[in-house]
Amino acid sequence: MDGGADVYLLYNFQVLLHQDFKSGQAELSVDIFNMGSTEDAFGMYAAERAPSYRFLDIGIEAYRSEGILNFLQDRYYVKLAGSGPGSNELLQQFAHVLSQRIAGTRSFPPLLKKIPQEHRVKYSEQFTRKDPLGHAFLSPAYIASYQQGAVESKLLISVAKDPAEGKTRLEALAKYFRQSGKCESAPDLGNGAIRASNTFEGRVIAVAQGRYLIVVVNPVGNAATLLKQTAQNLK
């Protein structure tokens, strides 16, 4: 994998199938990564996509850039690269064939359906297993961007194993901000909610809901509504 294995291993990479193809002057390479679960396949796929890419209806989601076509389906992250005359057409043909043969699940991780849609930046969703916002105690977590005007906020949902750990993560976050800046209770945002800030992360609001810790970084506009609606959706 040319030294690129470390990030894949963070997402519980299981097996890689690689194959090269040639048709006339066109050359293609195909890499199929079995990541073990849709969640980890999505995490790896989302880490490498960019909102500026051209997105296609292949698998759960696919994107194209110059000479590449990558897509997500079931527990697989599939990467195709092509070069030479005719390779662009072959990339899409191969992708459709592979998608049909993989079959399986063609839906994003269920949690993504529960976070608010309004003002969400399209293709901004991510799943990370290592140090969200630089904090190991927040792992793993989903992150999505929300934009109102020129200002962007980030919604982070830290996934704990149970409600007790969810509260522990909120307490750890509050402790961190008390030591690095300031933190105060915010009962208007929910039971046990906090408002906090420092010179590193800026301002945040956060609340625990069941096994989830919900954090909005750089809360602007209707950020309070975003926090409350997310908590309601995750009940």
The tokens for 183 are 């933190």
pLDDT at position 216 is: 98
Quick check: 9 pLDDT over 70?
Answer: yes
- Three-class SS of residue 139? coil
pTM: 0.93
Report how far Cα 121 is from the mean position of its chain's Cα atoms.
12
Average pLDDT of 110-138?
95
The sign of the dihedral angle between the CA atoms of 57, 61, 63, 69 is: negative
Q: What is the mean pLDDT of residues 67-94?
A: 94
Q: What is the pLDDT of residues 57-78, one digit of tens each?
A: 999 999 998 899 999 999 999 9
What are the extents of the domains in the chain?
5-102, 110-233
Residue with tokens 């519980």: 12
pLDDT of residue 59: 96
The Cα 102–Cα 76 span in angstroms is 8
Q: What is the mean pLDDT of the chain?
A: 94
Please give the class, per CATH, of domain 110-233: alpha beta
How far is 60 from 46, CA to CA, in rounded Å?
12
The residue-averaged pLDDT of 137-166 equals 96
Find the mean pLDDT for residues 126-132. Answer: 95
3-state DSSP call for residue 3?
Answer: coil
Q: Is the pLDDT of residue 2 over 70?
A: no
Spatial distance between the Cα atoms of 217 and 202, rounded to a whole number of angstroms: 7
Predicted confidence (pLDDT) at residue 185 exceeds the cutoff of 70: yes
For residue 232, what are the contacts with CB-CB under 8 A and spacing of at least 6?
none
pLDDT of res. 1: 62
Residue 3 has pLDDT above 70, yes or no: no
Report CA dihedral (90, 96, 100, 105) to the nearest 10 degrees.
140
- State the distance between the two ends of the chain, measured CA to CA, in whole angstroms: 41
39 touches 29 (CB < 8 A) = no
Please report how many Cα atoms fall inside a 13 Å half-sphere around the Cα of residue 181, on the Cβ side. 15
Mean pLDDT of 18-43: 95
pLDDT score for 6: 82
Q: What is the DSSP string of 159-190?
A: E-SSHHHHHHHHHHHHHHHHHHEEEEE-GGGS
Q: Are 234 and 215 in contact (CB under 8 A)?
A: no
pLDDT, average across residues 16-30: 93
Ranges of beta strands (E only) in 51-106 are: 54-56, 61-65, 68-73, 76-83
**CATH top-level class for 5-102?**
alpha beta
